[in-house]
Chains A and B, each alone.
Chain A
């Protein structure tokens, strides 16, 4: 009708605004933010710093595994619970009826998850370096941080698939029942080589195990698996769950 009106939008400003709003939302509800940081920090303080069972480099080992635990939590929560709650409220329907690009919704939540990851990593690093006598090369600190941050992405995909499929009232329970046992079985709380062999074998099927091994690889404390195998496993998990999420998103006739 009106030829002078633009018919396209620029994606980058939308990504920026959407992410900014999502981070603001989180920033303004400190209760949720703090509780997400508290678990890994508290666990690491107890088991990594105060009661370091025997080995004297336990603080270093557990820094990598609780770091893993710390970054996958917000990824699963922000997507898994956050999306399910917005669906339950009907707010997701409003977003869906608007021409918001689906990519903006995902990128904004990844941004939140990454902000969380950085916060968790910084807390743990500070604790480890100050009280745990953790001594790493500068390049190792940096690489560990990068591995953990990028490693949270497949868990964003897993969370998204859960958030788009679960009901809002059951989502927190289901996400936690996935998150906590999976973390334990992947050797994030207790070093994997203390497990009986059958349990060690199970761990190979769990994505947090592979991320933890990559993180441990940075500080030369992994059990010696192939880097590319761990990387491939995470990539595969990420792609499969992203595909599942897209199927759930594009499905019409959602209840």
Chain B
């Protein structure tokens, strides 16, 4: 493999009227690299993907993609995309969809290989309308990879997939990466980004908040969420240790804690009547909000 990046973005800006969706994004990816794009809803993830697919025009900056213009036929023939789709045409069989998409590419991936990667062996002859949500996602994945792409876009690929299907997808992504396919992945699941990506970029309000390996990013988002019910007055909660945010609705409480052990210790001493206690990893979006506040973006 040469050291030519698969794509490079320099100072990419996108404005919708007065609203700035992306503001000066620089990004590159090498062959065989998996890049996870993370960020809350409305952060600019989809805008970024659509710019790279050539579906949106740039307000400023440059995108070079496999030496072609984004959206050109030359670029499309070397890329694959799994987009979020509300529905697929109902009355085609899985194999018919795949054969059709294969025909668009100069050097498509062999049919059987697509089926194996996407885990569609049992449903090749099933009409799309009879597929489960997860199977539809797998079909979309199959359509994304069927051109043997050098660059693959996966927009929230595992939404609606059960655990088994997700594992299958992850394995397929790893195999493709081992073959040298560069992959851009947007996801809400930190776990997914963690398991798959070599590089993570966090976007918020159109700006790159941070870039790095999953390990580097995870260090930023180590907060936990503590939920419980209690009849005690809210005022007491401001004394709980290491809590960054408090939400309440009636007797339901939700706290964000940077050190859950410390927070729980003080919670138990302050509130005698805690019930239904759970501690979970912070939702990625919440974590990003904290992250953005910290970086002052």
A91 adjacent to chain B (CB < 8 Å):
yes
Q: How far in angstroms is the closest Cβ of chain B from A82?
A: 10
A97 to B51 Cα, complex, angstroms:
11
Q: Does B265 contact A (CB under 8 A)?
A: no
* Interface size classification for chain A: 20 to 34
The CA-CA distance from A24 to B153 in the complex, in Å, is: 29
Is residue A253 contacting chain B, with contact meaning CB distance below 8 A? yes
Interface size (B, Cβ < 8 Å)?
Answer: 38
Q: Which of A6, A25, A28, A94 has the most chain B CB within a 10 Å cutoff? A: A94
Whether B91 pairs with A25 at a CB distance below 8 angstroms is yes
Q: A24-B91, A91-B88, A94-B81 are in contact. Are A99 and B76 (CB under 8 A)?
A: yes
> What sequence of 0s and 1s flags, for each residue 98-140 of chain A, a beta carbon within 8 Å of any chain B beta carbon?
1111000000000000000000000000000000000000000
In the complex, identify which listed stretch (A12-20, A64-72, A225-233) lies at the interface while the others stay far away. Answer: A12-20
Q: Is the CB of B96 within 8 A of A21?
A: yes
Q: Among the listed B57, B89, B106, which residue makes an inter-chain contact with A8, where contact means beta carbons less than 8 Å apart?
A: B106
Contacts of A25 in B (CB 8 A): 89-92
Q: Are A98 and B106 in contact (CB under 8 A)?
A: no
Q: Which residues of A contact B55 (CB under 8 A)?
A: 93, 96-97, 252, 254
Bound together, the chains give a CA A118 to CA B273 distance in angstroms of: 77
Contact, CB under 8 Å: B91 / A97: no
Whole-angstrom CA separation of A24 from B89 in the bound complex: 11
Is A35 in contact with chain B by the CB < 8 A criterion? no
Contact of B86 among A18, A21, A88, A252 (CB under 8 A): A88
User: Is the CB–CB distance between A252 and B127 below 8 Å?
Assistant: no
Q: Which residues of chain A are near B71, meaning CB under 8 Å? A: 252
**Which residues of B approach A to under 8 Å, CB–CB?**
2, 53-57, 71, 73, 76-77, 79-81, 83-92, 96, 99-101, 103-107, 127, 140, 143, 147, 150, 153
